Amino acid sequence: MTDKVQKNKVQKNKKISLIFLAILSIFISVYVAGNYYVGLRFFQSLTNLIEPHSLLYWTCYSLLATSFFASRLGKRFYPGYVNDLISVAGDYWLAAIYYSFLMWIVMDILHHLTNLIFPTTQIIQYPSFYWGFLVLSLVFLLLIYGTWNANNPQVVHYDITIKKRVQNLSEIHAVMVSDIHLGLVVDNDRLDAMVSRINELDPDIVILAGDIIDEDVRFFANNKMPEILKKLRSRYGVYAVLGNHEYIGGNSELAIEYLQQAGINVLVDQCMKINNQFYIIGRDDRTAGRMFGKARLELSSLIEEIDNNLPIILLDHQPVNLEEGQRNGVDLQLSGHTHNGQFFPNNLIAKHIFENSWGYLRKGEYQIVVSSGFGTWGPPIRIGSNSEITDLTIYFEK
């Protein structure tokens, strides 16, 4: 490697680091401001219950507000059962503060509108105990429902037709799962249930479309999760691509090693011809380039030597730049990453960020299915979206 190339690589990595720090700073600033706003509104509403223990209130509130970040640091320096509890508390706190923030914003707006319409009359005392109790109750109910919903995945079925003839093969039955996020929340019991559910569907091929591991590869290995994944059964095998979380965890190569030990074909910018009848192409995740300067190969270079008369199924964790797949003759793309927003109203935002944030989309002969994912990131809840296993019957033109 020349000095010039090395210098450019260093500069690029520095730029990526600066961008990451800028985004992190903005996130922390917004997070602190939002937490203070919610904490103040609850304090104002529940003053009669809190006083004369306001110091205790703010101390406990601050501990909960920082639990998400504290558990991430604790994972490195003080791992163990206590840190796991703090981690779960921090994840739930993210959801609780998010919905509390939205509710208080709506109530503040309604309060100010009421004052504008009836300027001389104090119709409703605000904030008051009743408003605080209402917000707490609604958030509590949402967390209960969201937890139940996240732990009860649905099987979503799609019929796909690819207009290519395949000798001695009229259809294949594929099952795709994305964003499992195996770790503390999506544990061995849930993984075992997922594997059993997939095997009950009796697929010809199983696809794992990225974010299989929730960052901590050693937790994944130490809890013998590869042994559970090894129980997956299908005619043509199990194929996987990496997602952004395998790279965020910093041990993508180790993740590949453990997944391969589980009998999974991990495709990192690779193409495989299955039974001389169709192709599976697995792309490296875009995060590899953003975090480590490891640019993934162009799709055109992955398909330049394949037989375009056979069906081409592309696995790409993030459903972006869809025109690239269409331009290069891909028949079917399978993706995840979006979680379909995971909880409302993020699902509405996701629709504006991604051309296809969830479900099926057709662009000419190019088709894409995006899964909302099996697991969750952060808050182990789903509101306005569902955990799912994607069941596909792919027909080939006779």
> Can you give the pLDDT at residue 153?
97
CATH number, position 284: 3.60.21.10
Q: How confident is the model at residue 305 (pLDDT cuts 50, 70, 90)?
A: confident
Provide the β-strand partners of residue 279: 273, 312
The Cα 189–Cα 255 span in angstroms is 20
Q: What is the DSSP string of 173-197?
A: EEEEE----BTTTB-HHHHHHHHHH
Structure tokens at 57: 């209130």
Q: Which of 148, 179, 202 is the last residue of a domain?
A: 148
270 with 165, same domain? yes
- Judgement on whether residues 196 and 105 belong to the same structural domain of the protein: no
Helix runs in the chain, H state only: 3-45, 47-50, 54-77, 81-117, 129-150, 188-201, 217-222, 225-229, 244-248, 252-261, 287-292, 299-303, 322-327, 346-353
Listed residues 148, 183, 214: the one ending a domain:
148
The reply to whether 17 and 123 lie within a common domain is yes
Given a contact cutoff of 8 angstroms between Cβ atoms, the answer to whether 182 and 220 are in contact is: yes
Domain count, the chain: 2
Whether residue 123 has pLDDT greater than 60: no
Evaluate if residue 88 carries a pLDDT over 80: yes
Gap between the Cα atoms of 283 and 165, Å rounded: 25
Residue 65: pLDDT band with limits 50, 70, 90: very high
Q: Please, how many CA atoms are within 13 Å of residue 12, restricted to the half-sphere of its CB?
A: 14
243 and 383 both lie in a single domain: yes
Parent domain of 302: 155-396
Cβ–Cβ < 8 Å for 202, 173 = yes
Burial tier of 142 (Cβ tally within 10 Å: 0-12, 13-18, 19+): buried
- Residue 195 predicted with pLDDT over 80: yes
9-20: average pLDDT: 63
In this structure, are 105 and 235 located in the same domain?
no
Summarised one tens digit per residue, pLDDT across range 312-349 is 999 999 999 999 999 999 999 999 999 999 999 999 99
User: Where is average pLDDT lowest: 50-54, 74-78, 191-195?
Assistant: 74-78
Average pLDDT over residues 237-254: 92
Domain co-membership, 140 together with 159: no
Q: Is residue 313 a contact partner of residue 278, using CB atoms and an 8 Å limit?
A: yes
Give the pLDDT of residue 72.
81
* 326 and 354 housed in the same domain: yes
Kindly state whether residues 77 and 173 are assigned to the same domain. Answer: no
Query: Tokens at residue 214, please?
Result: 């929730």
Q: How confident is the model at residue 397 (pLDDT cuts 50, 70, 90)?
A: confident
Partnered with residue 270 across adjacent β-strands are 282
Same domain, 88 and 182: no
Judge if 47 and 124 occupy the same domain.
yes
DSSP 233: -
Instruction: Give the pLDDT of residue 8.
Output: 59
pLDDT for residue 378 is more than 80: yes
Q: Are residues 106 and 184 in the same domain?
A: no
- Partners of 363 in beta bridges: 366
Yes or no: say if 366 and 326 are a contact pair by the CB < 8 Å rule.
Answer: yes
Residues 348 and 252 in one domain: yes
- Alpha-carbon span 95 to 308, nearest angstrom: 46
